[in-house]
Structure 1
Amino acid sequence: MKKSIFLLLLIIGLVLIGCSNSEINNITNMDKQVEEVDEKSQEESADNKEIELEKNIIDYERIKPNENGQIMILMYHGIGEEESEWVRTAENFKKDLYTLYEKGYRLISLRDYINNNIKVEAGFTPVVLTFDDGLLNQFNIIEDGINRYIDPLCAVGILEEFYKEHPDFGRAASFFVYYPTPFRQKDLIKEKFEFLIDNGYEIGNHGYNHENLGKISIEAIQESLAKNVQKTSEILPEYTVESLALPYGAAPKGDDYRYVISGDYQGFEYKHRAVLKVGSNPAPSPNSIKFDPYKLPRVRASEMKVQGTGIYDYLEYFEKNPGKKYISDGNPDTITIPESEIDNIDKEGLEKNNKKLITYNLINANTDEN
């Protein structure tokens, strides 16, 4: 009897050991499978990176990319019936857009410019559109009792129509508004703001009531800028105002300049990531050691009293000096420049933004990746 019990226990023990070994083998096999999956994922990731790099192979001799070249930030004000120093007719504004398009320029947002997130096809040049003052002729909604539509002769109407005809041109612009009635239709402010941000446009700060920031106190500067941002945030709670166009191009001097960048009024804080001046030349590439987002120059989009610094002056300049303008390599993750630009590149900024630097020599079209 005792022998039978002993044999039974022995058999049970052997079975349990076998099961245990089986489980261990299963776990080991599972670990091996996980390792194989991890290795496969790493290989696929490496393959994908190689594919992305292959996409960046371009004809350097033909395209001559220079992503440290200058970028025009164009400054508009009114779009009206009669041309003047600060007003562009609808026909001339259309001419500007068509000329930019034909000459290989493509729209990017101000936010993408300061973020160095420039997504433009290889061989093309980014350009930024800005509009100051928030005028009715920039964004007008017509209601005739039967229909309700965007005025086809206002800036937004023209931009929308041009985008429909030329979607590859892009759709982007920044509108710098002041209060109490941006775009001059009181009951339509929220509707207009929502349309703008829903369609790729941006809204910026232009002071609460277009104050000359170079002639008022530090307290008044902060009040003006904070109230503008606060009012816009009340209309668009999910939107953040990140940029300022200086009214009259004026700002406090010396250390007080910091108040156009950030400050607070009665507990409400503002912080701009870009501050735009009035003129009068193209802006540096965001890759450049000269790039300063708090002192960005603009080009006047006008043909009157521009004294050689208007849109067509610089279009002609870049035609004669193509190496001075930003020319895209087509890949937002890489920054491609001629070897001659290497000392002008902000390498720390590239590393911070996880950008890969590529240089080339036009003599033999050799490239180096850093």
Structure 2
Amino acid sequence: MRSTASLVRIVGVANVVVVLVALVLLGILPEEETPSRAMAKPAASPQPSAPAQPQQPPPGVVATPEFAKQVKANEAGMVPVIMYHRIIPKRLASIDRTPAQLRQELEKLARKGYVPITAKQFATGDIRVPAGKSPVVLTFDDGHESHFGLDAQGRPRRDTAVGILLEVARKYPHFQPVATFWVNRRPFGIDDPAEQAKAAQWLAHHGFEVANHTWSHPNLRALKSKQVREQIVRLERLLKKLGVEPSATIALPFGSMPRSKSAADRGSWDGTAYDFAGVFLAGAEPSVSPFAKSFDPGAIQRIQSNGKKGECRRWCSQYWLEWLDKHPKRRYVSDGDPDRISVPQAERGNIQAKRRAQLNAYS
């Protein structure tokens, strides 16, 4: 693995090339990937009377070295934190995904034994995943209307990211339907404050995370520290009005770190303070485990959801998910016990000193 300093330098380049340029090049439509049968439109079926509740973790197990070895646990492994933007039928920019592409990727993750957790759970090390399974963090930037909306019956619209995630979770029961939505001043394209609150509270009530992506999505590196803090606080105040908890995480617009990194982590403006457990970038490889010595909660890696074309030959989700398949010993695999950190003996030296009491190493 590269060092944290090296990762941040890489992101400085990858963010500009992969994210900022893609946003500017609207109208350039990348070649569509060939749909598989998994992407085929499902037959119409009645929706359930109420949305699926987030799956609860199975009854706790006490991980012993023998059990950890049996399930090939490695909680020092890498975790894919996948970044999505608009989910629209016709892609207008390279970072857009279609509903069929989102469904295909989520089903692939489910079949490969991944279980979604929120960005907050990941950043704080609260990883509750069944033994033998792997966490994945699904993140959606900008609070676009394609991410979430309620129909006339108060249920998630089927064509939104949440609707698709719930559909996949019904098909694969272990694939708990949770994700993180980092929003700006107009959450989910909604203007009415009461409707904004209704949407945000529905998501929070059903285990999703709604958190800070700044007020107006500026390039934070171009702002003074006071302006950075204002951008963050104004969005925090909006979230408070919407009735959701203070943000534990933030995604930096364009993945651009402020000139003063500390302004992104914590600070205050006009009497309102913030303190984030995790600051997320915009690329370009899986994150190290939150228990690893090299983990930097102030600069957490993400992977753009995309195929293997152009810049994405080495930096996007299809490449990295295939890479983790080919290198299973580098992938985070849970022991099913949230109170222990199970790793092969060779990895014990890579765990943070403050976590040593939880260490469960096996040979």
TM range (shorter): 0.7 to 0.9
Alignment of 1:225-236 (within 5 A): 225-236=232-243
Q: C-alpha distance in 1, partners of 2:138/2:335?
A: 22
What is the Cα deviation at residue 307 of structure 1? 3.0
Whether the 8 Å CA contact 1:68–1:288 is kept in 2: the answer is yes
1:94 aligns with 2:103: yes
The aligned counterpart of 1:73 is 81
Q: C-alpha distance in 2, partners of 1:54/1:244?
A: 32
Deviation readout 1:229-258 (Å, 9 max, x if unpaired)? 01111211x6121111000111223xx110
Whether the 8 Å CA contact 1:277–1:297 is kept in 2: the answer is yes
The aligned counterpart of 1:23 is none
Divergent runs of 4+, >4 A: 54-57
Range moving further from structure 2, 293-302 or 338-347: 338-347
1:217 aligns with 2:224: yes
What is the Cα deviation at residue 168 of structure 1? 1.3
Whether the 8 Å CA contact 1:172–1:200 is kept in 2: the answer is yes
Whether the 8 Å CA contact 2:74–2:333 is kept in 1: the answer is yes
Q: TM-score, normalised by structure 1?
A: 0.77
Whether the 8 Å CA contact 1:56–1:329 is kept in 2: the answer is no
Q: C-alpha distance in 2, partners of 1:125/1:88?
A: 24
What is the Cα deviation at residue 108 of structure 1? 1.3
Secondary structure of 2:204's partner? helix
Q: C-alpha distance in 1, partners of 2:214/2:161?
A: 21
Whether the 8 Å CA contact 1:65–1:328 is kept in 2: the answer is yes
Whether the 8 Å CA contact 2:65–2:361 is kept in 1: the answer is no
Residue identity opposite 2:266 in structure 1: S
C-alpha distance 76-54 of structure 1, shift in aligned 2 (>3 A)? closer
Alignment of 1:332-351 (within 5 A): 332-351=338-357
Please tell me the root mean square deviation across aligned C-alpha atoms, in Å.
1.9
What is the Cα deviation at residue 324 of structure 1? 0.5
Q: C-alpha distance in 1, partners of 2:249/2:281?
A: 11
Alignment of 1:179-218 (within 5 A): 179=185, 181-187=186-192, 188-218=195-225
Relative contact order (C-alpha < 8 Å, sep 6+): which is higher?
A: 2
Q: C-alpha distance in 2, partners of 1:186/1:333?
A: 43
Residue identity opposite 2:361 in structure 1: T
1:123 aligns with 2:132: yes
Secondary structure of 1:340's partner? helix
Instruction: Tell which structure's C-alpha radius of gyration is larger.
Output: 1
C-alpha distance 52-221 of structure 1, shift in aligned 2 (>3 A)? closer
Whether the 8 Å CA contact 2:63–2:337 is kept in 1: the answer is no
Percent of aligned pairs with the same amino acid: 29
Query: What runs of 5+ residues in structure 2 fail to find an aligned partner?
Result: 1-59
C-alpha distance 211-359 of structure 1, shift in aligned 2 (>3 A)? same
Structure with the largest fraction of strand: 1
Secondary structure of 2:283's partner? coil
1:286 aligns with 2:290: yes
The aligned counterpart of 1:272 is 276
The aligned counterpart of 1:358 is 360
Q: C-alpha distance in 2, partners of 1:59/1:137?
A: 40
Secondary structure of 2:226's partner? helix
Give the count of matched residue pairs: 299
Query: What runs of 5+ residues in structure 1 fail to find an aligned partner?
Result: 1-50, 362-370
Deviation readout 1:67-118 (Å, 9 max, x if unpaired)? 1001011000010002341111101100011000101111112222122221
Structure with the largest fraction of helix: 1
Secondary structure of 2:211's partner? strand
The aligned counterpart of 2:4 is none
Q: C-alpha distance in 2, partners of 1:130/1:350?
A: 30
What is the Cα deviation at residue 166 of structure 1? 2.3
Q: C-alpha distance in 1, partners of 2:273/2:175?
A: 36
Alignment of 1:235-274 (within 5 A): 235-236=242-243, 239-253=245-259, 256-274=260-278
What is the Cα deviation at residue 309 of structure 1? 1.5
Residue identity opposite 2:75 in structure 1: E
Whether the 8 Å CA contact 1:74–1:129 is kept in 2: the answer is yes
C-alpha distance 148-195 of structure 1, shift in aligned 2 (>3 A)? closer
Alignment of 1:321-332 (within 5 A): 321-332=327-338
C-alpha distance 53-199 of structure 1, shift in aligned 2 (>3 A)? closer
Secondary structure of 1:79's partner? coil
C-alpha distance 54-89 of structure 1, shift in aligned 2 (>3 A)? closer
What is the Cα deviation at residue 133 of structure 1? 0.3
Q: TM-score, normalised by structure 2?
A: 0.78
